[in-house]
Structure 1
Amino acid sequence: MSLPRTGVAEVVVPLLVRDLTPTDLPACTWSGSTAHLMQVERELVRAAAGDVDYLALCTPADVPVAIGGIDYQVTASAGTLWQLAVLPALQSCGLGTMLIRAAEDRIRSRGLHRAELAVEESNPRARALYERLGYLAHGRRPDAWDVQAPDGSLLRYETMCTLMHKDLP
């Protein structure tokens, strides 16, 4: 392949959406701290029980480049998207859109017709993506979770989130 003078070329790579597995976690360190990955591992136990789906968007080498969960226990009539993450070097390339559409398909496959999520108010890029995909804001709520400090200790992170939903036809 020869590159144009600008040194930029387009490469098209097929991607596969599948269930995330515990063996994927070492390849997902880009998605968060060790504490975060331990939480994802616990969620995979819930996935095995059918309470959640945890998806991986993978390259042809079967390496996850986007991951995210759908919790069916938060609201009886909806799937709640959470822990959505895209490999930082590939953000703004459409992977988040692909992951969210796959999650919406999973929700529909369970006979549900509504997707919900909470987005941090300090993350306007994510909110803009959700709005482009048809999600509507309907409220706010504080949220908090533990994050790992550089020294390995756990700190409590507190934030305000906008609640959003989308009806799935």
Structure 2
Amino acid sequence: MAEVVVPLTTRNLTESDLPACGWYGTATDLVYVAEAIQRARRGEVDYLAVCPPSGLPVAVGGIDYTKPPGAATIWQLSVRAELRSCGIGTVLIGELEQRARDHGLRWVELGVDDNNSRSRTLYERLGYAQTGHESASWNQQAPDGSTTRYETRITLMRKQLS
């Protein structure tokens, strides 16, 4: 099997990118992304896209500088399903961590659904350590428009930035 190397760039996500982000989730999910882009304009967060030469986002995620005090929270990470385990998530997290360093922060935090062992393994490989747990729930919209309540336990993780 041959290996193909594709150059990736990381940049701020914009509203004009949203039509190309249908892989991210439902229309409701993209409303949250659009809100994050607005918060980025106010300097509260950075919300990034990882793109191949086409310029179309294949991964997105943000870092929130408003909480917790003295640190930042990485959140809403997603990589196109067919491109997972190719190192794209590592590129995204690395850039988000650099943005935190650029803000003078020494810690970053994130939460991972206990049902998502694949992501937790990535975070542990990148140096994140468990700091606790919390319960979480939210409404999920199905493709047919119906809504169900999703309840889970979140593992909280933290990393000291060098």
TM-score normalised by the chain length of structure 2: 0.96
- Identical aligned pairs, as a percentage? 53
Give matches, 1:54-73, under 5 Å.
54-73=47-66
- Number of equivalences: 162
Is the 2:40–2:47 contact (alpha carbons within 8 Å) kept by the matching residues of 1? yes
Whole-angstrom distance in 2 between the partners of 1:146 and 1:23: 26
Match of 1:116 in 2: 109
Whether 1:142 and 2:111 are equivalent positions in the alignment is: no
Cα deviation for residue 74 of structure 1 reads 1.9
Match of 2:31 in 1: 38
Match of 1:153 in 2: 146
Extract unaligned runs of 5+ from structure 2: none
Match of 1:163 in 2: 156
Is the 2:26–2:143 contact (alpha carbons within 8 Å) kept by the matching residues of 1? no
Q: Which of the pair has more CA radius of gyration?
A: 1
Match of 1:125 in 2: 118
Match of 2:84 in 1: 91
Whole-angstrom distance in 1 between the partners of 2:87 and 2:52: 14
Cα deviation for residue 32 of structure 1 reads 1.1
Whole-angstrom distance in 2 between the partners of 1:29 and 1:21: 14
User: SS of the counterpart of 1:30?
Assistant: helix
User: SS of the counterpart of 2:2?
Assistant: coil
Cα deviation for residue 152 of structure 1 reads 1.3
List per-residue Cα deviations over 1:89-138 (Å, max 9, x = no partner).
11000011111001000000000010100000001110000000000001
Whole-angstrom distance in 1 between the partners of 2:115 and 2:42: 33
Q: Which runs of 4+ in 1 moved over 6 A?
A: none
For the aligned residue pairs, the C-alpha RMSD in angstroms reads 1.0
Correspondent of 1:29 among 22, 43, 66: 22
Correspondent of 1:49 among 23, 36, 42: 42
TM-score normalised by the chain length of structure 1: 0.92
